[in-house]
């Protein structure tokens, strides 16, 4: 069935991969993006409405273009460290932005939403792997604003009959396996792109000894002392959005629903670097730096619910395959070491 879908943040890292998939599936896609971190050239095949979720008039404009049947909501600020320094930005973008979106949906009589949420809504793990029933006690404003958005979705479900799915990503990673789209954050703070940028620096003739790569803490309670995370490929995240949308439309899931998305396998920072060495063939070195505020030692998903309820299973189960897609994309960029 051909659907009319609004994708907020569709010019961003994960949103742009989603747009490509939806367009390929034959859907009619409208993107609402303020291009603050997204890229106009990443929305091929979609109608781009340049606008800001914090401005009601812009959101109304996105709905005004034609009947929308489903919304996928990616637009958000998503750096943990920045959220501690500048919580106002996070409450405005992630909370006020989401409320404006929900209100515009209510006015337009659109009740189905798939939301880009995060394992940061859980805070420090009290049990591993983490399931959806894990307590949600965020330890930073980023996680708190995403949790607040989830709560609004849940309340809108009860009061106004919204059917919504919050997909709680663990560590989104990798690039378009076809090499058309990638991860373009500025500044980049995420581990895998930073390791790959270091590999590119070395490949370009840089001295491995002058490494710019930091491992944030090697004294955690893990086998090699560095933090363990569950890296999930963005193509798998996008596939989960499609499945969630189909379930919402088919009435198979209703009200508010939350699903973890991860592979269930954890890799330490040092293991990630080792995998990148292997995939890139470059002599990647690192320095040990102090811990980053708010980093729990381990975050690993139980995605059992997504498997049973959505029929989702990740295709990228090996970290090396995830890294390979990122390496291929970054290798083709014109000024990769900037």
Residues marked active site are found at 142
Beta-sheet pairing, 228-229 with 267-268:
antiparallel
The number of residues that bind ligand UDP (CB under 6 A) is 14
Closest distance to ligand UDP from the beta carbon of 248 (Å): 26
Q: Tell whether residue 292 is a contact of ligand UDP (CB under 6 A).
A: yes
**Which residue's structure tokens are 């499609």?**
242
8-state DSSP, 204: T
Q: Which two tokens stand for residue 90?
A: 């996070």
Query: Mask 203-242, x = binds ligand UDP (CB under 6 A)?
Result: -----------xxx----------x-x-------------
Q: Between 112 and 298, whose beta carbon lies closer to ligand UDP?
A: 298
Cβ closer to ligand UDP: 114 or 215?
Answer: 215
Nearest distance in Å: CB 50, ligand UDP: 28
Dist. CA 274–CA 280, nearest whole Å = 10
Under the binding rule (CB under 6 A), the answer on residue 301 touching ligand UDP is: no
Question: What is the distance between the alpha carbons of residues 83 and 334, in angstroms, rounded to a whole number?
Answer: 31
97 close to 148: Cβ distance less than 8 angstroms:
no
Residue 261 binds ligand UDP (CB under 6 A): no
Q: Are 263 and 313 in contact (CB under 8 A)?
A: no
DSSP annotation of 211 reads: -
CB of 185 to ligand UDP, least distance (A): 10
The yes or no reply on residue 153 touching ligand UDP (CB under 6 A) is: no
Q: Angle CA(260)–CA(175)–CA(81) in degrees, nearest 5?
A: 60
User: In terms of DSSP H, where are the helices of 25-173?
Assistant: 56-64, 80-85, 87-90, 97-108, 141-160
What is the pattern of x (binds ligand UDP, CB under 6 A) and - over residues 74-113?
------x---------------------------------
Structure tokens belonging to residue 167: 């997909």
Closer CB to ligand UDP, 80 or 200, in the complex: 80
Contact status: 31 vs ligand UDP (CB under 6 A): no
Neighbours of 263 (CB within 10 A): 23
Closer to ligand UDP by CB, 199 or 215: give it.
215
- Chain contacts with ligand UDP (rule: CB under 6 A): 80, 171, 189-191, 194, 214-216, 227, 229, 269, 292, 295
């Amino acid at each position: 069935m051909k659907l009319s879908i609004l994708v907020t943040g569709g010019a961003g890292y994960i949103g742009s991969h989603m747009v490509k998939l939806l367009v390929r599936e034959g859907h009619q896609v409208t993107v609402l993006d303020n291009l603050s971190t997204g890229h106009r050239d990443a929305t091929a095949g979609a109608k781009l409405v340049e606008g800001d979720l914090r401005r009601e008039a812009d959101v109304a404009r996105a709905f005004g273009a034609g009947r929308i049947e489903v919304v996928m909501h990616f637009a958000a600020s998503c750096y943990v460290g920045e959220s501690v320094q500048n919580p106002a930005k996070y409450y405005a973008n992630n909370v006020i932005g989401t409320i404006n979106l929900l209100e515009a949906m209510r006015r337009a009589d659109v009740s189905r939403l798939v939301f880009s949420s995060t394992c940061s809504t859980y805070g420090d793990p009290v049990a591993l792997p983490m399931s959806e029933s894990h307590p949600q006690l965020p330890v930073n404003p980023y996680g708190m604003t995403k949790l607040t958005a989830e709560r609004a979705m849940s309340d809108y479900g009860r009061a106004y009959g919204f059917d919504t799915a919050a997909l709680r990503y663990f560590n989104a990673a990798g690039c378009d396996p076809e090499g058309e789209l990638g991860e373009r954050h500025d500044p980049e703070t995420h581990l895998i792109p930073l390791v790959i940028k270091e590999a590119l620096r070395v490949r370009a003739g840089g001295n491995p000894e002058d490494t710019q790569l930091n491992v944030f803490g090697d004294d955690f309670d893990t086998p090699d002392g560095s933090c363990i995370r569950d890296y999930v490929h963005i193509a798998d995240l996008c596939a989960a959005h499609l499945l969630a949308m189909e379930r919402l439309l088919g009435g198979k899931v209703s009200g508010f629903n939350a699903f973890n998305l991860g592979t269930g396998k954890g890799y330490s920072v040092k293991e990630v670097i080792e995998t990148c060495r292997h995939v890139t063939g470059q002599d990647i070195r690192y320095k040990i730096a102090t811990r980053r505020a708010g980093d729990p030692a381990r975050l690993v998903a139980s995605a059992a619910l997504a498997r049973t309820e959505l029929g989702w299973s990740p295709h990228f189960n090996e970290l090396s395959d995830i890294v390979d897609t990122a390496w291929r994309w970054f290798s083709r960029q014109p000024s990769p070491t900037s």
